[in-house]
Every structure is written in C-alpha cells, then in structure tokens.
Amino acid sequence: MIELNDRYENPLCSRYASDEMQQLFSPDRKFRTWRKLWIALAETQKELGLPITDEQIDELKAHADDIDYEKVACYEARVKHDVMAHILAYGDQCPKAKGIIHLGATSCYVTDNTDLILMTEGLQLLRRRLVAVISCLADFADRYRALPTLGYTHFQPAQPVTVGKRAALWLQDLLMDLHDLDDVLGGIRLLGSKGTTGTQASFLSLFDGDHEKVCELDRRIAARMGFSDVFPVTGQTYPRKMDSRILNVLSGMAQSAHKFSNDIRLLQHLREMEEPFEEEQIGSSAMPYKRNPMHSERMASLSRYVLTDSLNPAMTASEQWLERTLDDSANKRISVPEAFLATDAILLLYRHVAGGLIVYPTVIERHLQEELPFMATENIMMAAVKKGGDRQVLHEKIRRYSMEAARRIKEEGKSNDLLDRIASDPDFKLSSDELSDLLDPKRYIGRAPEQVDAFLQQFVKPLLAEDPESVVSEEPRV
C-alpha cells in the first residue's frame, strides 16, 4: 500500500533521479564518509608519530558504520553544530578513541573533503550515463548515415542532409561535454587537512614544527581517500570555484540534452521521427489519439533547471569573503546535489529516447519531394543548357514557374507542380524521366554519409572501445 507523505518531498527523488545517485548524495553516505575521514586522519597521524594506538583506531573502525542518528539529533539540538554532534556521538561509541577524534581539524576537514569525494563519484556516474547515450546515438547515426532528409535553417526548408548527419551533430555536442567532464574530473583535488584558515597551524603544532610531516599528512590522507593530490593552497574551505566548474559541466550536458529534445519535438510535429511510445501509454486525458513527446519535454524541463541552478555556485564562488564565510553552506546543500540528481535524470531520459527513436522514411521522402523541385532548379537549368537551351531564358522561366508553384501550394493547398510545368515547356528539352533523375535526393546530400563515417570512426568508436562497460544504462523511472 502506498502512503502519501504530508510534507513536501523533492520530485527529483520521488520521480526522476536514479536510486544510485540518490544514495550517493544521501545523508547516510555523507556521514559514513565523515567517519572514514576521521579514521584516515587518525591512522595517518599515528603513522607520523602522534601518540595514537592501534586499539583506538580499531575502535573507530568497529563503529564506522553504526551511526546512532537519534543520539546525533539529541546532541545537535543542544550544541547547534552538526559536525560536533557527530563527533560527540562517535566518541560515546568509542570511549578509548574519544580524545583523538578530529584531532587538529576543523569542521571543513570532514564536510569539504566529503563534498569533493561525493562530487567526484557523482561525475563518474554521470560519465557512465553520458557514454551510454553516446553509444545509442552512434548506432543511430550509423544506421541512418545515408538516409536523405530535408534540412532546415530558421526552421525553413533548406538543402537536404541525412538523418545520420543530424544525429552526428547531437553526438558532437556530447563529445564536447565528455571532454569537459574528464578535464574537470581530472582536476579535482582533496582539501586535505588545512585547519581553520588554511595555514595548517594546528597540525604544525601537533608535529612540533615538522613541516614535512604536515605535508605528508595531507598526501597520505588524500591517498587513503583515493585522491592523488590536494589543493596546494586554501582558506578554511576548498576553492568554491571548484563547485562552479563542476556545475558548469552539468550545465553543458543539460544544454546538449535540451537542444536534442527540441529537435525531437520539432521532428515529431513533422511526423518524421518519434520518441518511443509504450503500448499502454496515454498521451492526453482529453485527446486519446495523441502521442505527445513527453520524455523529450521532460528533458527540456529538467535541463532548464540545471542551467539556472548552475548560477548558484558561480555566485557563491564570487561572494566568498577572505578565508571563508558561511553563506555558502545552505546554498551548497541544495544546489549541488540537486544539479547532480537532475542531470542524472536527464541522461537517463536521453538514453531512453535515443535508444528507441522511431524514423518514418515515407514521411521524410514526401517532405523532401515537396521541396526538392525548388532546390533542384539550378541542376535542371544546367541540364537544359547542355541540351542547347538559353541560360537567361531558362532562368526567367524557372523563376516564374517557381513563383506559380509556390502560390499554388500556399494559397490553394495543392501539390508542387513545378516539374510538370518544366516538363511541358519545350525550351527545356527534358523528359519526365530525366527530371525525376535530377530529383534523386542523394544528389543533394553532399558528403553527409562520408562525414558521419569519418566522425564515428575517428572520434566515437575509439571512445566507446575504451569504455565498453558504460554502454548499458538503466531506464528512466517514470
């Protein structure tokens, strides 16, 4: 039986984001990571000579995962400080190690390092999602590499392209996103153990002025938590510009997804392509015949959220005072996890749509044939000139016939009869068969198929070969 909550719940959790991403940014995952960091700090301090025993560390490890959240809540109600509440509750569970928990550290040792760890893991998950989308679109582009379709500029009929070439444009956006993601992912460092203003003064005191041991403390903690390096200089926090860089990457993926979703919605209106539609899916409560592009619309909706949300860390980074100010905290708690949750949902939707796109070649061909006579006029004129026609006379006649055919289409709703007009004019000396041959769509797609082949071969397939496990992704939740 489903029980409804009588309090607001975040739709990103209840409807859109995957369980995996929700668990990553869950409170339990965060607080367990805090304890891992406290253990890493104690272990490293012991290795570097501080009077910490194996028994104390074993006690900390024994209670790393059994957090007494009721006791934490009681302490926080009293002390009004979340980190201290957890330190006190951990100390109650570990009486022998109580005195060495958080030794020399400030709150940001656990909060900031945890944020960096979780965002790193979040980017790694999104990377898998992104590669899965790229794989689906690559298959689609290859399958339809040579299928001519009407191109559009300003959403007005333009020179033909191919369905696969259009998909290659979507793909290229995603490859840029992947490049940006990898660049930012490779630049994330741990905060390490920097102290209240980033000078490491407390740790220098603990190690009796031994600068090398203080530096080694940073390096070993980073290694224990899976990082190769720490930020070389910080205030109390890691640079908030890191959050801005990360959410800019998420914004980039949202931009690409939004553009794709717009194109699919336009093409579905033209009935040339369609997003997947399930057998029992209802498009409209009032109009049973409708097949609305709901997944593409949801992608656009969530993408707009990520685009605007990315402004939050940008403003936070620009407004930090000196070595630290706390006006980042409440905003970070909301803006960063929600950007990851929304982007997770977007990429799941993207893969679902890209993996189930339906193409209607007959409709595509009809739209092409409606416009090709206009686009073929130069080729028709050149063929007629080769048969002895006067170029200037032919040009004027084609201009007049084109105007008449366009008027007939727009004002009378009739078919394009430009070819019939030309075929019946003896000045052109072209038969209907010759004219039909000049209207073969493949004559007008240029190097589109070859462009798709080269793009997939040089850029996409090598990428997928490096990461074959990422090509499978779960379905969106709703």
Instruction: Map out the domains of the chain as residue ranges.
Output: 28-100, 107-277+292-363, 377-438
Catalytic residue at 301?
A: no
pLDDT, position 285: 46
φ/ψ (deg, to 5) at 391: -60, -45
Q: Is 284 labeled as catalytic in the residue annotation?
A: yes
The pLDDT of residue 283 is 52
Which CATH superfamily, name and number, covers 28-100?
Answer: Fumarase/aspartase (N-terminal domain) (1.10.275.10)
Strands (E), 342-405: 358-359
Given 228, 284, 329, 415, which residue is catalytic? 284
Residues of the chain under the 70 pLDDT cut: 1-4, 278-290, 469-478
Q: What is the pLDDT of residues 423-460, one digit of tens each?
A: 888 888 888 888 888 888 898 899 999 999 999 999 99
Between the alpha carbon of residue 5 and those of residues 8, 9, 11, 14, the distances in Å are: 7, 8, 12, 11
CA 351/CA 131 separation, integer angstroms? 10
Measured CA to CA, the distance from residue 256 to residue 260 in angstroms comes to 6
- Given this model, what pLDDT does residue 288 score? 47
Span 107-277+292-363: which CATH code? 1.20.200.10
377-438 adopts what CATH topology?
Ribonucleotide Reductase Protein R1; domain 1 (1.10.40)
Question: How many CB atoms are located within 10 Å of the residue 346 CB?
Answer: 31
What residues does 151 pair with on adjacent strands? 158
**3-state DSSP call for residue 158?**
strand
Angle, alpha carbons 85-88-91 (nearest 5°): 150
Burial class (CB in 10 A: 0-12, 13-18, 19+), 458: exposed
pLDDT of amino acid 471: 59
Q: Two tokens at 58?
A: 């074993």
pLDDT given for residue 466 in this prediction = 87
**Cα separation, 331 vs 337, whole angstroms:** 10
pLDDT per position as a tens digit, 123-174: 999 999 999 999 999 999 999 999 999 999 999 888 899 999 999 999 999 9
Predicted local distance difference test score (pLDDT) of residue 279: 56
Whether pTM exceeds 0.85? yes
